């Protein structure tokens, strides 16, 4: 029997990168996958592969986490067989721009704050009450090393991820005694679409972020998420910082070229 046989695992931001890797990793554990993102067609295209890996069922949900009413409609009134969410991987997020704060774009700031902070809160607000009522569940927030250390041009993105860290700690305190566990996984550099999104589609600039070093793969992070969720019920992993061997802090990166 696989570790998550028939258990419902919700992953936000499942159309790409770390979220898509979490979907694959939980599929291998026999989970029933509830997968959300705006680009739901990508998730639908991936569903046969996820079933092949071992997912018991896959349900794709088109969702913009910035819209609280949409989150409530999509996740607050699920069919009975999907409503007992056992693991929430609250991962949807993004970075926009790398400008100094005094030269930053208000649009970029709003998009990051609305997605990384408010979007994460929207999903928690809808999903966590059920976990608390059932006295069972695991919430994994995907934060970042950027929430622990600011770096040049990181300003608002770092601020949103520092908020994720504080929200994670607050949620863990508020859920004390319910049996619901709360973790943050805070990666360093991971090769996904993250940098392409940050630089508004500039692939060359995105590629230069990883020049001469070996970043994490999304699957490396997913492995940590599954490990957290599969600990015995009395064990709560509160936080994991996971870095490439070539990275020592937000600003210390070893490059071979």
Return residues touching ligand 8X3 (CB under 6 A). 144-146, 154, 188-189, 250
Residues 198 and 241: their CA atoms lie apart, in Å, by 21
Q: Which is nearer to ligand 8X3, 124 or 186 (CB)?
A: 186
Residues 30 and 167: their CA atoms lie apart, in Å, by 30
**Contact between 94 and ligand NDP per CB under 6 A:** yes
66, interface contact from ligand NDP, ligand 8X3, none, CB < 5-8 Å by kind: ligand NDP
Q: Site size for ligand NDP, by CB under 6 A?
A: 31
What is the distance of C-alpha 30 from the center of its chain?
A: 20
141: helix, coil or strand?
Answer: strand
**Contact between 91 and ligand NDP per CB under 6 A:** yes
Give Dmax over CA atoms of the chain in angstroms.
55
250, interface contact from ligand NDP, ligand 8X3, none, CB < 5-8 Å by kind: ligand 8X3
Could you say which of 7, 8, 16, 31 contacts ligand NDP (CB under 6 A)? Answer: 16
184, interface contact from ligand NDP, ligand 8X3, none, CB < 5-8 Å by kind: none
Residues 17 and 198: their CA atoms lie apart, in Å, by 14
Distances (CA, A) of 184 to 34, 64, 110, 119: 20, 21, 23, 16
115, interface contact from ligand NDP, ligand 8X3, none, CB < 5-8 Å by kind: ligand NDP
Could you say which of 50, 89, 109, 144 contacts ligand NDP (CB under 6 A)? Answer: 144
**Contact between 142 and ligand NDP per CB under 6 A:** yes
**b (16+ CB within 10 A) / e for 13-50:** bbbbbbbbbbbbbbbbbbbbbbbbbeebeebeebbeeb
Which residue of the chain is nearest ligand 8X3 when measured via CB?
Answer: 144
**Contact between 64 and ligand NDP per CB under 6 A:** yes
What is the distance of C-alpha 26 from the center of its chain?
A: 14
94, interface contact from ligand 8X3, ligand NDP, none, CB < 5-8 Å by kind: ligand NDP
Structural contact between residues 102 and 52, judged by C-beta atoms closer than 8 angstroms: no
The residues annotated with a catalytic role in the active site are 157
Residues near ligand NDP (CB under 6 A): 12-19, 37-39, 63-66, 91-94, 115, 119, 142, 144, 187, 189-190, 192-194, 197, 218
């Amino acid at each position: 029997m696989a570790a998550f046989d028939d258990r419902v695992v919700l992953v936000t931001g499942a159309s790409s990168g770390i979220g898509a890797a979490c979907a694959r990793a939980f599929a291998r554990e026999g989970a029933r996958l509830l997968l959300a993102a705006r680009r739901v067609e990508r998730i639908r295209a991936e569903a046969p592969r996820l079933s092949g890996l071992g997912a018991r069922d896959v349900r794709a949900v088109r969702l913009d986490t910035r819209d609280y009413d949409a989150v409530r409609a999509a996740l607050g009134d699920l069919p009975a067989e999907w409503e007992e969410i056992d693991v929430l991987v609250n991962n949807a997020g993004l970075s926009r721009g790398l400008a100094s704060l005094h030269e930053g774009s208000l649009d970029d700031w709003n998009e990051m704050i609305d997605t990384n902070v408010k979007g994460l809160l929207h999903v928690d607000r809808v999903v966590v009450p059920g976990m608390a009522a059932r006295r069972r569940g695991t919430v994994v927030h995907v934060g970042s090393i950027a929430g622990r250390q600011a770096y040049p041009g990181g300003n608002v993105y770092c601020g949103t991820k520092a908020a994720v860290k504080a929200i994670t700690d607050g949620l863990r305190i508020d859920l004390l005694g319910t049996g619901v566990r709360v973790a943050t996984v805070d990666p360093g550099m991971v090769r996904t679409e993250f940098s392409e999104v940050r630089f508004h589609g500039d692939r060359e600039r995105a590629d230069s972020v990883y020049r001469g070093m070996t970043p994490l793969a999304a699957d490396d992070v997913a492995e940590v998420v599954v490990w957290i969720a599969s600990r015995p019920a009395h064990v709560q992993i509160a936080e994991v910082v996971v870095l490439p061997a070539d990275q020592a802090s937000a600003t210390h990166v070893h490059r071979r070229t």
